[in-house]
Amino acid sequence: MPNLIDVSFFVGDINIPNTSKPEIEESLNLFIAKHEKQLLKQMLGYELWTSFDEDDTTQRFVDLIDGIGEWQGLVYNISDTVKGSLIAYYVYCYWIKDKQIWNSGIGTVRPKGDSAEIMPIYMKYMEAWNTCSAQMGEFVIYMENNLDIYPEWSPVDLWMLRPVNDFDL
């Protein structure tokens, strides 16, 4: 199954600069491929994820992706030209954590700009993670209200997606 999100989702409060540069786009696409799959398996449980992966065109999966009723969907419109997704918020958190420290030929290093001061990531991380967590709560309510449509739903450790505070707790 192709990814539900792409680099175009990383704008606004989860902006990742320079996604038009091939090296940034390639790196971000790897993060998307890895973390989208990881999150969907966790959210849906293995059995429903397998069904979703095999046939995402049935109405129940279209509703899961695009939303129905009060469920906004895994992918939704923020405006006419901008799409949003709890998956993008999740991927963004892993992206900014990873980019905080880099591997180099001499060990791990922190980048330092000539005219920039490196700031802690916790505020951006916390905002993105808590947005993902809130949308995950909406997802759980949707799934619990539609167990007749998704009887094989068996999420794994959704407590790990609870809101965090300044201390990442």
* 111 and 119 Cβ atoms separated by less than 8 Å: no
Residue 22 maps to a domain: yes
Residue 84 maps to a domain: yes
The per-residue pLDDT for 91 is: 97
The per-residue pLDDT for 106 is: 66
The per-residue pLDDT for 156 is: 83
The per-residue pLDDT for 148 is: 96
The per-residue pLDDT for 111 is: 61
Residue 78 maps to a domain: yes
Domain that holds residue 104: 7-160
Residue 40 maps to a domain: yes
The per-residue pLDDT for 113 is: 61
Residues 6+ apart with CB under 8 A from 113: none
Residue 165 maps to a domain: no
The per-residue pLDDT for 105 is: 63
The per-residue pLDDT for 65 is: 95
Structural domain total, the chain = 1
Residue 168 maps to a domain: no
Look up residue 82 and give its two tokens: 């901008």
Q: Which DSSP symbol is given to 71?
A: B
Task: Give the global pTM.
Answer: 0.86
User: What is the distance between the alpha carbons of residues 155 and 6, in angstroms, rounded to a whole number?
Assistant: 24
Residue 117 maps to a domain: yes
Residue 87 maps to a domain: yes
pLDDT along the chain (169 residues), means of 10: 91 93 95 96 93 84 95 95 96 87 60 62 86 94 96 84 69
The per-residue pLDDT for 108 is: 58
